[in-house]
Amino acid sequence: MGSPVPRGTRIETLSLFASRGSGVDDRRQDHTPDLAVPGTLGRTRRLVERAPDAIMHGVIPFEAIPGIPPLFLAFVRGQAPGFFPDPPTSAAVDERARELLRRRGGAVVAAGQQAGLFGGPLLSLTKAAAVARLAREMRERGIEARGVFWVASEDHDLHEVAQATLIVKGAPEKVALPVPGKNFQPAGTFAVPGEIATIFATLREDPAVPSDILARFEETWKAGRTFAEAFHGTLEVLLPGGTLEWVDPLEGRWRAEEVEFFRRVFRRAGEVVSALDSIDGKLRDAGHGPQVARAEHDFPAFVIEEGVRRKISWNGREFSVHGHGGAFTAESLLELVSEKENRPSAAALLRPVLQSHLFPVAAEILGPSELAYHAQTAPLFDVLDTARPVFLPRPHLLPRGARERRALEALGIADADLFRLREAAPADVPAVSPKIQALEAEIAERIGGLAGDVRSVDPTLEPVLSGAAEKISHQLSRLREKVERAAERRDVERVRRLETIETFLTPGHAPADRVYGPLTYLLRFGDGFAPAILKEAECRADGARFVDFE
């Protein structure tokens, strides 16, 4: 790797090509793709023309993408009205926006993301772009709307936000900055450590890396800035000026309204917990496990005290706060979160309602897992007298360069087979393989034919014969597998093409927009990358799409 790595900074090459089994997420059911759904969002016009240096091409159905919750699939098919009563259409969004304009004098399109290293995965940028795009289209239809992006700075998973996966010299590398162990500091307030210089030094060793782009990221992510500041700075510069309002919930301007919101939450604790219990039961009855697991006495709130995010619990009568002895009433808990240096903080299930309390949210753009847990959140809008927004699926865009596009074409891989490459483009079976398989069957048959003779001599020997048959069959099966793997290794060109596709499009068998971030793509495709992606950031219900670059 060149330069020595300071202690605490991890830079490791990912092994992406190990055996992955079937590649099917255990949580998913085996669904036949249903492409009657694209019309669900068809009533939303395309927002802008395509970028001249990028071409939209192909659809990978959501059913073919690993890790998509079944509840999300039901949502985009229109098969979950009991959990999502509003269809994801422009008509539903416009109707909700007009209601909010009458009642609250404004309408907002919103999305959010944790403040991840180098701007987080690409989906952060595409969500922000989709918010700006939809708000602009609504204004073109005569509905005054604005876009808001929520920087989830209060989340305390430092380990998650302090890592990223980059492509260095053509190979994926995971980088991670050192963070304190067992630390419950809000991640957005964490200062970028000096060890980040090592990551930039490593990237500079690659002669193909554009120095001007790298210099901009070095300035944005210089040591001492908070993660929230650097994350915001990364995305804002990639979007046209003034298109979004960036909201950090830890800023002082939101504190008074947050405290007022939590006054209602604490006073209605019983209703909040009862509503969550009820929706969890309905989800289980419908065959969908709750996306967010809830422990006994769980309550969807924290208090940030002296820079530490402390969990609030509720036992049906009174509250408790992690790190505090004794119990709290709703009023005494409100006093605690209202103290000068303290503030309340919403857990994942309460955060969407808080956002709609602070802003008149007409539409919220969500990823598959986010949308699944919003089904749990939905009843809290009614409990807390807040209008529920229309939920829309985020854009799923896979940037594709010429190398991986040529590899897909050479192997004859259909778009829908992107996540089953090895099955869709199997190696040629060596001539000896079916001979070994036939030998397995022949030996099994001949040994089976001995069972009666052995039994007539000594019945207790029949299990021994059966065991011998199993051992022989196992050894021959292993031999056949080894022969086939050896033949596959000899097919160097096929393996090289598969690894190219897996590196750039399906790293770790995940969609690349969940893994690589804006820095990776800007270094690879240059400054033309961001405008091309922004112009294609459209909420769709049919699946993921390629954006081709030369």
Return the number of other C-beta atoms located less than 10 Å from residue 156's C-beta. Answer: 21
β-strand pairing of 108-113 with 361-366: parallel
Residue 475 amino acid letter: Q
Report pLDDT for 427.
Answer: 74
How far apart (Å, rounded) are the C-alpha atoms in residues 198 and 134?
Answer: 39
- List all residues 6 or more positions away from 507 whose beta carbon is below 8 Å from its beta carbon: 14, 16, 165, 172, 515, 516
C-alpha to C-alpha distance for 430 and 485, rounded to whole angstroms: 10
- pTM of the predicted structure, to 2 decimals: 0.80
- At a CB cut-off of 8 Å and minimum separation 6, what does 186 contact? 153, 154, 155, 156, 250, 304, 307, 309, 345
Q: What is the pLDDT along the chain (550 residues), one digit of tens a residue?
A: 333 333 444 444 333 323 333 332 333 333 222 222 333 333 333 322 233 344 445 789 999 999 999 999 999 999 999 999 999 999 999 999 999 999 999 999 999 999 999 999 999 999 999 999 999 999 999 999 999 999 999 987 888 899 999 998 888 999 999 988 777 899 899 999 999 999 999 999 988 899 999 999 999 999 999 999 999 999 999 998 778 999 999 999 999 999 999 999 999 999 999 999 999 999 999 999 899 999 999 999 999 998 999 999 999 999 999 999 899 999 999 999 999 889 999 999 999 999 999 999 999 999 999 999 999 999 999 999 999 999 999 999 999 999 999 999 999 999 999 999 988 888 777 888 889 999 999 999 999 899 899 989 988 888 898 889 889 999 999 998 888 878 777 788 888 999 999 999 999 999 999 999 999 999 999 999 999 998 899 999 999 999 999 8
> Within 10 Å of residue 335's Cβ, how many Cβ atoms?
12
- CA–CA separation, 522 and 520 (whole Å): 6
Report yes or no: 230 and 192 within 8 Å, Cβ to Cβ.
yes
| 315: phi then psi, degrees, rounded to nearest 5 | -100, 10
Write down the residue that tokens 């219990």 correspond to: 277
Query: What is the CB-side half-sphere exposure of residue 222 using CA atoms within 13 A?
Result: 4
How far apart, in whole angstroms, are the C-alpha atoms of residue 350 and residue 482? Answer: 53
Nearest to 522 by CA among 114, 165, 210, 230: 210
Distance CA 338, CA 256 (A): 9
Look at residue 4 and give its three-state secondary structure. Answer: coil
Three-state SS at 390: strand
